[in-house]
Structures are given as structure tokens and as C-alpha cells.
A and B are shown apart, each in its own frame.
Chain A
Amino acid sequence: MEDLLVRIICRLVVPFVQLYGLYVITHGHLSPGGGFAGGAIVGASMILFALAFNLEAGSRKLSHDISLLMESGGAIGFILAGFVAMLLGQNFLTNKAAGFPLGVPGNLFSSGAIFFFSVAIGFKVGSTMCTLFYNLIEGSDRHRSSE
């Protein structure tokens, strides 16, 4: 289905949705939301793009390789950030006691390691949403062509 209105509106909306998603991810410790909610918003923006244009255009913006890398990278980043605390002599996932600077409360960088955890979760959730969506679409395509 080709619809000029949908495409133009989508082009206008997608950057704002993504910016809002990134805002929710990075302000997870200050405002409602966090890694999961923000990642879901970013992922939804990519799904919106692929719905309004088509699958090829969508996967040109975010290829399988990149989304695979982001998906695994998010989870790996989370675990590695947990290990940093262990290398600093504290228990797994320790935040302040391991020496992460907390900063001034209310500022963007005021949560020590939680900031990294939120970003890692955001990457993971956003790319997983895309991958799930692409897999559903491509799966039905593949089965149709094989019949």
C-alpha cells in the first residue's frame, strides 16, 4: 500500500519519537520510564517506519547485522558493566561503593552505573523489538513463497 500522507507524516514523526525514546532511556533514573520503556519507544519508531514505507526500506535503515550486534551488544554491555564493579573489588553490579561517581542529584549524570545499565537495556530492547517484527513479517513471507 502506497500512501503519500502516511509517508510524509511518518517522516515527520519518526525523529521526534526516537528523540523522545532516547530521552526516556537516558533519564531513566530521574523520570518515569527507563531502559525498557525507552527502548520500546525507539523500537516502535523503527516498526512505524517499516510499516509506512516497506520492509526493504526499513531493513536498509537498520540491517540484520547491525540489529544483531546491538541486541547482543546491549546484553553484553550490561554484564560487563556489572563485572567492572567486581574488578574494583566489590560485589557484582555494585554501584557507588565500587567507586562510580554519583554526581549532583537531579543532573543527567547522577546515577553512577545505572546510566550505563539503562543505555544497555535500551539498546537491547529497541533492537529486539525490530528483530521480532522483521522475523514475523519475513517468516510469513517465506512460508507463503514456499507453498
Chain B
Amino acid sequence: MNLNYEHLPVIIVALLLLAAFLEPIVYRHKKSWAAPLVIASMAFFALSSLYLMAAVNYHGPFNYYLGGWAPPFGIELEIDYLAVFLLLTFSVIGLIAIVYGLQDLKHGLKDEVLGWYFTLYLLLMASMAGISVTNDLFNMYVFVEISAISACAIISIKESRECIEASLKYLILSTLGSGCILLATAMLYMITGHLNIGYLNDVLPRVMSHYPNNILISLGFFVVGYGVKAALFPLHVWLPDAHTAAPSPSSAVLSGLVIKVYAAAFLKVFLKAYPREIFLEIPVMEIVLFLSVLAILYGSIVAMVQEDIKKMLAYSSIAQIGYVFLGFSLMGQRAVAGGLLHIFNHAMMKSMLFLAAGIIIYSTGIRRIRDMKGLGVKLPLTMGAFTIGALSMVGIPGTNGFISKWQLALGALDLGRPIIVVVILLSSLLNCLYYMPIVINAFFGVKGEPELEIGKVPGVMLYSILFLGFGIIFFGIYPAPLLAFLQKTVTAIL
């Protein structure tokens, strides 16, 4: 028996799936074991991601052939710097969100669906881990479908009117997106005969001049498919409703992680599968860049007029996913590193903000921003964490939001595009316009209404957001190891 660390990526995915299918049986027969099982599997996911990151950092990237069949015939997993970076982001944020969620979900969900919620959550995590490690386009499509369906079920789990409406909207649009991705994959398979990303990259330069239509169609469909799923600007219409309707821990995961995984898949397909010359002839990345600039401005402007705090955070996500795509579509070393860093940073900030909003809703029932005057006195730690998140969203130095915006701005300047820096600056000011009033009102606002009823905040919920708040400050002050790791990641991709 020889179990070395190279088996770990597939063990992660398989074990998460195993736990997901075990969960309904456990919940039916031994209810008290269900929650520890979720926590244990997520903790295993986080620890093994950490170990994989150390191993890859030390020994270098490696490939894994499922069933012992080498590509082009078999499915290949490629565990490179990008994959372990994504795995670590997803697992740590996912673990914190579910630890928090155990308290919040008992409050918000009906008892009989709690077991199904755990199943869906683990399926979502397994599919995101799968998308991160796979090096095969069709395998990636399968995981994209799993994550779309489980995300959709997570949104609709409360069975209220707006949840069903939001999840139906998401189901229709994300199915369209999946169809686009499948069709684009088929177009590439048609002309190359490969699904493996490495082989595609080898073969495409030789065949692309013979089949320009296939290349054009596949590029368009991939942009639309992953754009719908990641809520890139004109294709974002499902996001605000879906992320508002879901329970708070799910909103944190959906907004912090699930839209990011599609952005990462976009990066894998466009920068690893397609040869670079294509983008000189077909300006697809310029189009994505334009859309992401529009997303940054549109998301911030629309977020300003929202009354519901979760809806405001959801619109802010549209703007922030714009930053990620901005970095990717610039295709420069530092820009892509900035985009990747923003995946990590925004996952921390946005999940913390959603969890803090969840605490506010849990203990006071307030959802409207206008009613939050004077809340800072009642919930000092929660609003303190919210303030850290808001400062990080705006990009104040000392928080991690500043580091990724700085990297993106430097990346844009490297490529001689100062106008992007103006957009980033403008959007930071816009962020300031809608985040700061909440903070100022909470701490200095005078409440005119009668005293608020404040329920007790469970310690676990508070500690999880404080932990994330600490992470925001930590990576804002000491980003050097992360930046060095991302430098290696980007050098391997570009």
C-alpha cells in the first residue's frame, strides 16, 4: 500500500462526494452526527488543501491520471499552483461559512431540509474542488453542471416565494450558460479531437487557421457561458435576487466562492487552452475588458440605491467580479496576479460582509439599511467587523482590498493603460459612497425610533466573522508570501 500525497486531490473530491451522499442516511437515522460529519469533511478539505499547497510549493506541480489512463485518452487532473491556490481559498472560506451556518441555519431552515442542505453544500464544495483540479474540458463541464444544480437547490431551499422565483431565474440562465459551455467544448473537440487542455494548447495553433469559424464560435460561447455563470455585467441579471434570497451562509459562499470558480475556469480555458496568438487576431479579451469595466461601474452605481443590505452586497459582487475579469483580460503578469489575488481577497471580504449582515438579520431582524442607525452601539463587534470589510471594499491601505486593487492598477500601467487606473479609482470612490454611510450611521447615527430588540448573538457566529476580519487585516499588512506564490502561479500560466 502506497498512499502518497499525489492521491490527495482525487481523495478530496471523492470524499466530499461520499460525505454528501452519506449525509441523508445519517440525518435520517442518527441526526446528531450530521453536523459533525459536514464539519469533519470540510476540515479535511481545508487541511489537505493546506498540505497540497505546501507539497506543490516544495516539489512543484504534478499530474494525476484517473484510472491510470494517460491523456489524451484518460481524464487528467493537473495540480499546479493555480489549482492549490483555488483549493485553499474555497476550503477555508467554505469551512468558516458552514461553521457559522450551523447556528444560523437551525434558526432559518425547517428541520427536515437541514440534512439536504448539508448534502447540497458538500456537493457544491466537491464540484468546486473538481473544477479547480481538472485539466479536461468535458470533466470541467460536468462539475460546472453539478455546482449549478446544487447552487440552485441551495437558493430555493427555504421554499418561500422569492426564493423559488430567484432559483428558477438562476436555473434557466445557468442552464443556458451550461449549454453554451458544452457547445463551445464540442466546437473545440470537433477540430482538434482533444478535450485535454494541454493537448488543446498543442494542437490549436496548427489547426486554427483552417477552421476560423469553429474558433470564433467557441470563443463566443465560452465567454457567454462562463460570463452568465460568473455574472459578468450584461449577463448578471440572476445574481441580485439569487444571492439575496438564499440563507446568509449560502449567500456568503455563493457570492464569495461560486461565482469565482467560474472566473477561474474562464482563466483556465482562455489562458491555458487557447494559444496566445488568437487574442491578437480576435479581440475577445478586449471585449471582456470592456464588459468588466462596465460591470465595475454599473455594479457600484446600482448598489448605491439599494435599500436591502443583502441586495446591496449582491450588487457590489457584480462590481467585484468585474475586477477579477479585468485582471484576467489584461493578460499581463501583474494584472492576472491581481485578478487571482482579488479572488482570494474578495472571497474573504464578501463572505465576511454577508455573514455580518446575517448576524444583524439573525439578532435584530433588520434588513433595511435605513433602519441600521445606532446599531454599532448594540452590536459593536459585528459592526466593527463590518467596518473592516467596508474599508477593505473601498481599498483603504492596510486592508487586503487595497493590495489587490494596487496590483491591478500596476498591472494596467505595465501594459500602458492608464484609463483602467482611473476606472479603479472611480469605483473605489463609488464603493466609499455606499459602504461608508452604513458604517457612519451605525456608529454615529441618532436613532429616532424606539429601542431595538437585540437577540443574543451566538459566539460561533461572532468568532467566524472576527477570524475573517483578522485575515483581511493580516493579508493587508503582510501580503508578501501570497504575492510571491501568485507570481509563481502566473509565470506558470502565461
Contact = CB atoms under 8 A, between A and B. Distances in A.
B14 A92 contact: yes
B25 A68 contact: yes
Contacts of A98: 68
Interface string A58-97: 0000000100110110011001101101111111111101
B1 interface: yes
Interface stretch (B16-24, B214-222, B316-324): B16-24
Contacts of B7: 86, 91-92
A71 B119 CA distance: 13
Contacts of B11: 86, 92
B1 A87 contact: yes
Contact of B66 (A65, A87, A92): A92
Contact of A79 (B2, B3, B17, B67): B17
Contacts of B65: 91
A82 B14 contact: yes
A80 B2 CA distance: 17
A75 B21 contact: yes
Contact of B28 (A68, A76, A83, A87): A68
A61 to B, nearest CB: 20
Contacts of B66: 91-93
Contacts of A97: 68
Secondary structure dominating the interface of A: helix
B129 to A, nearest CB: 14
A71 B28 CA distance: 14
A72 B67 contact: no
A79 B68 contact: no
B118 to A, nearest CB: 13
Contact of A92 (B18, B22, B67): B67
A114 to B, nearest CB: 10
B381 interface: no
B10 interface: yes
Secondary structure dominating the interface of B: helix
Interface in B9-37: 10-11, 14, 17-18, 21-22, 24-25, 28
A92 B10 contact: yes
B64 interface: yes
Contacts of A69: 25
Nearest to B15: A79
Contacts of A65: 28
B17 A75 contact: yes
Contacts of A86: 3, 7, 10-11
A66 to B, nearest CB: 11
Nearest to A65: B28
A33 B133 CA distance: 30
A126 B301 CA distance: 50
Nearest to B18: A79
Contacts of A92: 7, 10-11, 14, 66-67
A106 B2 CA distance: 33
Contacts of B1: 87-89
Contacts of A90: 68
Contacts of A68: 24-25, 28
A66 B95 CA distance: 32
Nearest to B64: A91
B142 to A, nearest CB: 14
Contacts of B67: 85, 91-95
A86 B68 CA distance: 11
A71 B66 CA distance: 24
A68 B115 CA distance: 13
A82 B3 CA distance: 14
Contacts of A76: 18, 21-22
B364 to A, nearest CB: 31
B18 A89 contact: no
Contact of B2 (A85, A89, A93, A95): A89
A51 B48 CA distance: 49
A60 to B, nearest CB: 19
Interface in A77-125: 79-80, 82-83, 85-95, 97-98
B68 A72 contact: no
B228 to A, nearest CB: 26
Interface string B467-479: 0000000000000
Contacts of A71: 21, 24
The 9 closest A-B pairs by CB, nearest first: A75-B21, A93-B67, A94-B68, A92-B10, A72-B21, A79-B18, A91-B68, A89-B2, A79-B14
29 contacts: A65-B28, A68-B24, A68-B28, A69-B25, A71-B21, A72-B21, A75-B17, A75-B18, A76-B18, A76-B22, A79-B14, A79-B17, A79-B18, A79-B21, A80-B18, A82-B14, A83-B14, A86-B10, A86-B11, A88-B1, A91-B64, A91-B65, A91-B66, A92-B14, A92-B66, A92-B67, A94-B68, A95-B67, A98-B68
Given A72-B21, A92-B11, A95-B67, 11 more contacts: A65-B28, A75-B17, A75-B21, A79-B17, A79-B18, A86-B7, A86-B11, A88-B1, A91-B7, A92-B7, A92-B66
